[in-house]
Amino acid sequence: MPIVVKVETCTGCETCIESCPFDAIVMKDGKAYINEYCNACMTCLSVCPEGAIIEVKEPSPAADKKERDAKLQAYKGVFIFAEQREGVVVPVSYELLGSGRRLADELGTDLSAVLFGAGESEANELIRWGADRVFHCAHPDLNSFNDDTYTEVLAGIINEHKPAIVLAGATPVGRSFIPRVAARVRTGLTADCTSLEVDKETGNLLQIRPAFGGNIMATILCPDYRPQMATVRPRVMKRGEYDKDRTGELIQIESDNLNSRTKVLEFVKEASGISVNLHEADVIVAGGRGTGGEKGMKLLEELAEALGGVVGASRAAVDEGWVPYLHQVGQTGKTVNPKVYIACGISGAVQHLVGMQSSDIIIAINKNPDAPIFNVATYGIVGDMFEIVPLLTRKIKEAKGQ
């Protein structure tokens, strides 16, 4: 279904060229021409004043369609990949169960979780959070994450049980090995979704995700292949209901002869005392150039600690060497969406904003009233962070009765 320009209708007005997010339209002999960068995003169709840009649908013979539909029908059920770290299921897995349960109910099908490593108690916990069935592979080689072994076992389960939908967390683990799985089972994968819906007409999964650093949202479909696979951003989906009496089926998966070309030799935890898991934090206190150095960052650590949060940083603070890269928020760092993001001494370059603007509540503290950070702030305070932050920390501790 390529996008093409009807040469006879094109007036060469060049309106479409600016509209293309992928630089895929160029002028050729006075007419617009769509080249290899085209992602078929359809933007230009509505921009052209002459209606000269069209989508060419390739006719699919009826017999083919019937055969294809029958093939797709064989895929049923919603699967979620329940990631664990050091034997404990990570929070995003429960969010996937909440989202997966809703999709399964809407589609009138059931929900399965796939768990590698960890103990049976964690598997049962997945059932109480909404799974009808858990495929548990307790092979010791799966206790720590490894792309080769995880891909092999998950692709095997998908090929055998043919789910219609497979969801995983958009964590370093999910975003590393799930693409391999999708490539292996020959299906589409949508990265880092923030919303999932069922198309009422077709039953297809509508996968909604931000692109261009969150400036644009896109709805992605995988209509002709199964399963429909997506990684889901942590902290955006709601957990389901916990029911301690809920029962389900626990299926042990045997896997012998797991082969791997990569091997994890050790895991080294970030040295600083405070947690650095920015993806799963409710509160992030972030500092920029305005923190002036380690002394300023120390104040932010204290505030983060008082709020039970973690410390983030702008690129400027990381480049200055005040904070390790692991803490960097923004285009070349992490994309985060905590409940509360407190930006201190961060001016708000667009590269920073794209990494944090989807936070629920943004509080900006900055000396400069014209700093762009105030354009995205829910609450703005013009002032000196060296004065405000320690005071805030003290008042929070008082309010908490500490």
Partner 1 sequence: MNIVVCIKQVPDTADIRINPETNTLMREGVPSIINPFDLNALEAGIQIREQTGGKVTVLTMGPPQAEAALREALSMGADEAVLLSDRAFAGSDTWATSYTLARAIDKIGADIIFCGKQAIDGDTAQVGPETAEFMGIPHIAYVRKIEEIKDNSIKVQRLMDEGYDVVESSIPVLLTVVKELNQPRMPSLKGKIAAKKAEIRKLGMADIDADENNLGLKGSPTQVKNIFAPETKAERKMIEGSPEEQVANLIEEFKKIKCL
* Region near partner 1 per CB under 8 A, out of 66-74, 140-148, 244-252, 292-300: 140-148
Of 10, 157, 336, 392, the residue at the interface with partner 1 (CB under 8 A) is 392
Nearest alpha carbon to residue 40 among 74, 2, 75: 2
Of 91, 119, 179, 292, the residue at the interface with partner 1 (CB under 8 A) is 179
Interacting residues with partner 1 between 189 and 218 (CB under 8 A): 189-192, 206, 210-218
Verify binding: residue 247, partner 1, rule CB under 8 A: no
Helices 385-399 and 294-307 meet at what angle, rounded to 10? Answer: 20
CB of 115 or CB of 173, closer to partner 1: 173
Residue 185 CB contacts under 8 Å (≥ 6 apart), including other chains: 155, 158, 159, 227
Of 7, 12, 19, 236, the residue at the interface with partner 1 (CB under 8 A) is 19
Cβ 41 to partner 1 shortest distance, Å: 5
Number of residues that bind partner 1 (CB under 8 A): 118
Please report the sign of the dihedral spanned by the C-alpha atoms of residue 395, residue 398, residue 400, residue 402. Answer: positive
192: helix, strand or coil:
strand
For residue 371, the number of C-alpha atoms closer than 13 Å in the C-beta half-sphere is: 26
What gap in Å lies between CA 26 and CA 286, rounded to an integer?
A: 42
CB of 252 or CB of 375, closer to partner 1: 375
What gap in Å lies between CA 323 and CA 271, rounded to an integer?
A: 12
Chain centroid, CA 43 distance in Å: 24
CB of 29 or CB of 254, closer to partner 1: 29
Q: How far apart are the first and last CA of the chain?
A: 63
In single-letter form, the type of residue at position 342 comes to I
In single-letter form, the type of residue at position 121 comes to S
Cβ 19 to partner 1 shortest distance, Å: 5
Interacting residues with partner 1 between 271 and 310 (CB under 8 A): 275-280, 283, 307
Verify binding: residue 159, partner 1, rule CB under 8 A: no
Interacting residues with partner 1 between 357 and 376 (CB under 8 A): 357-358, 361-363, 374-376
Helices 172-185 and 147-161 meet at what angle, rounded to 10? Answer: 50
Of 112, 291, 314, 335, the residue at the interface with partner 1 (CB under 8 A) is 335
CB of 68 or CB of 128, closer to partner 1: 68
What gap in Å lies between CA 136 and CA 118, rounded to an integer?
A: 9
343: helix, strand or coil:
strand
Interacting residues with partner 1 between 315 and 334 (CB under 8 A): 325-326, 328, 331-333
Verify binding: residue 266, partner 1, rule CB under 8 A: yes
Of 186, 200, 238, 244, the residue at the interface with partner 1 (CB under 8 A) is 186
What gap in Å lies between CA 217 and CA 13, rounded to an integer?
A: 27
Cβ 173 to partner 1 shortest distance, Å: 8
CB of 127 or CB of 306, closer to partner 1: 306
Verify binding: residue 224, partner 1, rule CB under 8 A: yes
What tokens were used for 197?
Answer: 């819906």
